[in-house]
Amino acid sequence: MTASLTFFPVSNGDMVLMCLDNGQRILIDINIRGKADDDDDDTPDVAEDLRSRLERDNQGRLYVDAFLVSHPHSDHVAGLRNHFHLGPPDSWDEDDDKILIREMWSSPVVFRRAGANGESLCEDAKAWQKEARRRVALFRENGFSTGEGDRILIMGEDIDGKTDDILDIVIKRDETIDACNRVEDGSFQGRLLAPLPPIDDDDEETLRHNQSSVIIRFSLRGGGISDRCRFLTGGDAEVAIWNRLWNLHKAERADWFTYDIMETPHHCSWRSLSFDRWSEMGEAVKVDPDARSALSQTRKGAIIVASCKPIKADDDNPPHERAKREYVDILDDDADRFFCTDEYWNDKKVALEFEVKSNGIVRKIGKASALAAPALGISATASQARPHGTGHGGK
């Protein structure tokens, strides 16, 4: 199977389906809006598109092999209860025909910080949290005998030793994820970069207010070649988090940030690139150099995707036109390698999809747009770092 990344048009939200070359599928966030079910509404029906890309198991259930929620904001988990089966897999109902989650990837620290901000979790986020707790309890009781539909991986250690007794299913910060649904075959690797631990109480508040999220740099095999595509995704993480990550790793591990495809954090928000407020300073704002460095470690021919509504030159944030300009600058001013998911949908009427092949990354042209635009390819030298980069020797 050809590995691929599909970015669904969900306006200001995230929803990415990562297909591995072994046939497994990893879903990162969802924003399945209810109005998409209205035939009179032109909101893209991303749920139906997703279902068309999944397979059924021997019991007739559609499934994803793994599902990561980067953080509990509604635009990253909306539609969970309506479209995904929650609870014991044996209770799956054919009439409802919801999607089975074989393995959850979740971060209790990120959920805890969202609640500490005084935010009230949306009902879908509460449902995710409840299901995660059910699966953790099963692991505590049964260990690795838990089956598909009951499995979970924890992204980052929880506070006060709350995960010390289940470290076998905890991915610690800076460690790698090498298996999806307990299948380890070299098809991918994920480096967990965040959530970050606090330095002190003040730092904990900083992490909360900068939209603490799970940040992972994936490496995908394509065409039988390992590390053919590196994909950086970071939820809504804002400037202080990227600043700190870069200062933690720039001396010896800057390569951990290199990418062929990056999804802009927080829907192309200005607040992921700068401590300055656009509403107060306008064009006098300055980009934080350390956050920018973390987000600019491109490999040759890299692509940046903004999962957001159309980007306009106004004060709306996110998305922000000034942030787009900075990302295009990161791409050596090659605007053809910057994509906005909603703009792409409005033009092509298909989701934005990239295939990972032995000779590089190619934008897949759907039927609706087969005659509208050429494929965008990355050459077979995609693994070579840019001159200002940090090399490409490790994962």
> Which pLDDT score, from 0 to 100, does residue 39 have?
67
The confidence score (pLDDT) of residue 37 equals: 66
| pLDDT the model gives residue 269 | 96
Which regions of the chain are under pLDDT 50?
368-395
pLDDT digits 0-9 by tens, 345-376: 999 999 999 999 999 999 998 664 332 333 34
Look at residues 312, 306, 314, 311 and name the one whose alpha carbon lies nearest to residue 279.
Answer: 314
Spatial distance between the Cα atoms of 80 and 230, rounded to a whole number of angstroms? 27
Q: What is the 3-state secondary structure (H, E, C) of 276-337?
A: CCHHHHHHHCCCCHHHHHHCCCEEEEEEEEECCCCCCCCCCCCCCHHHHHHHHHHCCCCHHH
Rounded Cα distance, 328 and 364, in Å: 21
pLDDT confidence of residue 26: 98
Q: Quote the DSSP letter at residue 99.
A: B
At 25, list the tokens. Answer: 């599928």
> What residues does 218 pair with on adjacent strands?
190, 231
Going from N- to C-terminal start, the domains of the chain cover 3-369
- pTM equals 0.91
Residue 114: the pLDDT is 87
Is 369 in contact with 391 (CB distance < 8 Å)?
A: no
Structure tokens at 12: 């200001």
CATH of domain 3-369: 3.60.15.10
The pLDDT assigned to 117 comes to 65
Taking CA 316 as the corner, what is the angle to CA 310 and CA 322, rounded to the nearest 5 degrees? 80
Token pair belonging to 284: 């006098």
pLDDT attached to residue 373: 34
Predicted confidence at residue 378, as pLDDT, reads 43
Contacts of 330 (CB under 8 A, 6+ apart): 292, 295, 296, 298, 304
